[in-house]
Each structure stands twice: as structure tokens, then as C-alpha cells.
Amino acid sequence: MRLVGIEIRRGLARRSTRVLVALAVALIAFMAALVFLNSRAGVNTAEDRADAVRDRSAELGSCIQSGGYGGEISKAPGEDVREACERAVGSVEDYVQDKRFELTALWPKDDDEQRQPADEDDDGGVLGVTAIFVVIGAMMAGATFIGADWRYGTIGTLLAWEPRRLRVFFAKVAAVALVSFVICVVLQSLVGLSLVPSAVWRGTTDGADSEWFVGVIGVVLRSSALGAGAALIGYAVASLGRNTAAALGVAFGYVAVFEALVRGLKPQWQRWLIGENSTVVLFGEQLESASFERTSVEAGLILLAYLGMVVGAAALMFTRRDVAA
């Protein structure tokens, strides 16, 4: 535990960790300010109607200039292009939008009035989107945790103080997992809290009941667990390659190239991909758009098996590698 505590303090003291957290907080503040400024306190206000008039005028002008969208609009007998476009474009009321921010946009409710979180056309709400960036940032932080030690040669110094390599390796594993999980929880919580003012003063909190709040807590914990797993993968690959760039390069190649090729060439293998199983874990239920059936528990066990293999290979290599200065 002493060694784990030391590694936690070292991880929190790293410049890369502080920069990533500061950047995330700045982006959250920017997003919250943007949502607040673009939200409306009511529906069909004077500002909403002014925006609707402007949008309709722009659409009408585009229609007239293109000659009725290139002749796609059928004209009635005795009707000119402008009259046909006005009929096709519609009235100002058709362009009035409800710009209130709904607090339930953080995570869609699982009921009959809103789309299911795992629907094909749903992005999982705000927390579902920010979870992607949280996972990417966690993987980068996990890679720098060990990559910097290899780069600056501090691994040899550490092993001179504590020569039991497995103890050192798994102390770092525990520190990476704990630090990344806690930071992910804090950041996802900040996302939710930063959007509360927009819902209270320039939106609505309808539907944000206790059941919905439990769902929000669930997605925060699941996304944070995925972030911790991504951090451990980054740590393990960086340990195998002895630098941070190796982990980032492998991760990019796997996600952007390998999994994309598998989806295109062998769609029946999608059930075993990290991306699909991570999505099932994030939503906490079976995906309606998936071509396979899998519960979140099964998907989580598959991800744990992959994680165990990667971390185990890195641990084996760490025990046998020459770390002479």
C-alpha cells in the first residue's frame, strides 16, 4: 500500500496529468457557457420568432434563387416560382424551435416518451458523448504514466529501491486504475453539474426524477470504469513499447484500422470487438442496432479478459526485461 500511495502521488504530480485535467475542465466550462448562451427560458419567445423569421427568409431566398430547388417543387397552374417556394417553405411557425435545455439531455430516460438510450438513432445524450473523450484522455494519461519512466530512465532508479518487479508493476497498475477512475468520475460529474444552471434558468428539469438520477449515476460509473480500463491498456502497451508513442500508435491503429476492417470484411466478428462491447457496457443494456445479443455483464467480462491478457503480457515482459542504466 505504501508503494501504491507513492505511485498515486507521482501520477497526480505529473505535468501531463495536470495538463489533461486542466484541458478537460476548460472544455467543460466552454461547453456549459455555450449551452447556457444558446438556450431560451421559454418557448415561442420574441427571440425565437425573430430567429424563425430569419431562418425562413434564408430558406425562401435559397429556394427562389435555385428556381424552386432546380424544379423539384411542382407549381400549381398560374403559380410563379416565389409562390411555389412560399408554399413549400411553410409559415414562420414551422421554424420556431424549442431552444430550452432539458436536463434529461444528459442521459435519455428509459421510458415510452423518450428514445431508449440504446436506440440506433440516439447518441446516448451529453454524458454518452463526453464518455468518448474521457476514455481517450484516460488512455493517454495511462500511457504517459509508464512511458515517461522509460523515457527518462527512472525505472532503473525505482527498481534499485524496490527490486521486486512484479510488486512495482502491479503497484503502478493499481495507481493507474484508481487515479483514472476517480478523475473520470469527477470530470463526468462536472459535466452534469455545469449544465444544471442551463436547465434551471434557461430550460426545464421535467423528467429529472429519482429514477433518471440513478441512471445518470450508473452511466458516470460505467464510463469511468471504461476510462480506467483504457488507462490500463495505455499503460500496458506503453510498458511493452517502452514509450508513450507506442501506446498511442497501437491504439489508433487498432481502433481506426483493425476494427474498421473487421466491421467491413467480417461483420460476424463484431461481437468480439472492443468498440462494440464497450458500447454495450456504457449503455448498460443490449444494443437494438447490434447484430448480436449480449448483456452488459457479458460484455464487461470480455473486456476484462482482453485487459487481463494485455496487462499480463506487459507484466511478464517487465519481469524479464533488461533495465540497466
Three-class SS state of 16:
helix
Instruction: Give CA–CA dist 74/69, Å, rounded.
Output: 10
Instruction: List average pLDDT for each run of 10 residues in the chain, which is 325 residues long.
Output: 86 88 96 90 72 84 80 74 82 78 85 43 78 93 84 79 87 94 96 93 87 93 95 91 82 84 86 90 78 86 94 90 65
User: What are the Cα distances from residue 34, in Å, to 12, 39, 51, 252?
Assistant: 30, 9, 17, 30
Backbone torsion region of residue 91, taken as left when φ is above 0, otherwise alpha when ψ lies between -120 and 50, otherwise beta: beta
Identify the pLDDT of residue 44.
Answer: 66
Identify the pLDDT of residue 182.
Answer: 96
Identify the pLDDT of residue 110.
Answer: 62
**pTM for this model (two decimals):** 0.81
| Chain Cα centroid distance, residue 282 | 10
Identify the pLDDT of residue 115.
Answer: 41
Identify the pLDDT of residue 123.
Answer: 56
Helices (H), the chain: 2-13, 15-38, 46-65, 67-71, 81-89, 125-152, 154-161, 165-202, 210-241, 244-253, 259-265, 274-283, 296-320
